[in-house]
Amino acid sequence: MLIDTHCHLGDPAFAADRDDVVSRMRAAGVGRALVVESALDGLEATLAWAAGHQGIGVATACHPHEAHRWSPALRAALESAWNRPTVLAIGEIGLDYHYDYSPREGQRDVFAEQLAAAVEVGKPVVIHAREADADVVAILRDQPRATVILHSFSSGPTLRDAGLDAGWCFSFSGMVTFNSWRQDDTVRAIPADRLLLETDSPYLAPVPHRGKRNEPACVVEVAQKVAALRGVSFEEIAAVTTANAERLFWPASSKHR
| Tens-digit pLDDT profile for residues 10-49 | 999 999 999 999 999 999 999 999 999 988 889 999 999 9
The four Cα atoms 12, 17, 18, 21 give a dihedral, to 10 degrees, of -120
As a whole-number percent, the residues of the chain with pLDDT over 70 amount to 98
Q: What is the pLDDT of residue 39?
A: 87
Inform me whether the pLDDT recorded for 143 exceeds 60. yes
What does 94-141 look like in DSSP terms, one character per residue?
Answer: EEETTT-SS-HHHHHHHHHHHHHHHHHHT--EEEEEES-HHHHHHHHH
At 256, is the pLDDT very low, low, confident or very high (cuts 50, 70, 90)? very low
Q: Report phi then psi at 210, rounded to 5.
A: -55, 140
Rounded to two decimals, what is the model's pTM? Answer: 0.96
Q: What is the pLDDT of residue 255?
A: 57
Average pLDDT over residues 105-109: 98
Contact indicator for 122, 155 with CB cutoff of 8 Å:
no
Average pLDDT over residues 162-179: 98
Side-chain half-sphere exposure of 130, counting CA atoms within 13 A: 15
Q: What is the pLDDT of residue 252?
A: 83
Average pLDDT over residues 233-248: 98
CATH number at residue 237: 3.20.20.140
Cis peptide before 202 (omega within 30 of 0): yes
At 254, is the pLDDT very low, low, confident or very high (cuts 50, 70, 90)? low
- In this structure, the number of other CB atoms found within 10 A of the CB of residue 229 comes to 18
Cα distances (Å, whole numbers) of residue 71 to 44, 109, 110, 113? 19, 12, 9, 11
Mean pLDDT, the chain, whole residue set: 96
C-alpha–C-alpha distance, residues 140 and 154, integer Å: 17
Closest listed residue to residue 155, CA positions, set 189, 192, 130, 179: 130
Number of structural domains found in the chain: 1
Q: What is the pLDDT of residue 32?
A: 98
Average pLDDT over residues 179-186: 97
Domain of 227 in residue numbering reads as 2-254
Inform me whether the pLDDT recorded for 83 exceeds 80. yes
The tens digit of pLDDT for each residue in 198-208 reads 999 999 999 99
C-alpha–C-alpha distance, residues 246 and 243, integer Å: 5
Average pLDDT over residues 236-244: 98
C-alpha–C-alpha distance, residues 62 and 54, integer Å: 25
Q: What is the pLDDT of residue 40?
A: 85
Cα distances (Å, whole numbers) of residue 115 to 120, 155, 220, 236? 9, 20, 31, 32
Average pLDDT over residues 238-254: 93
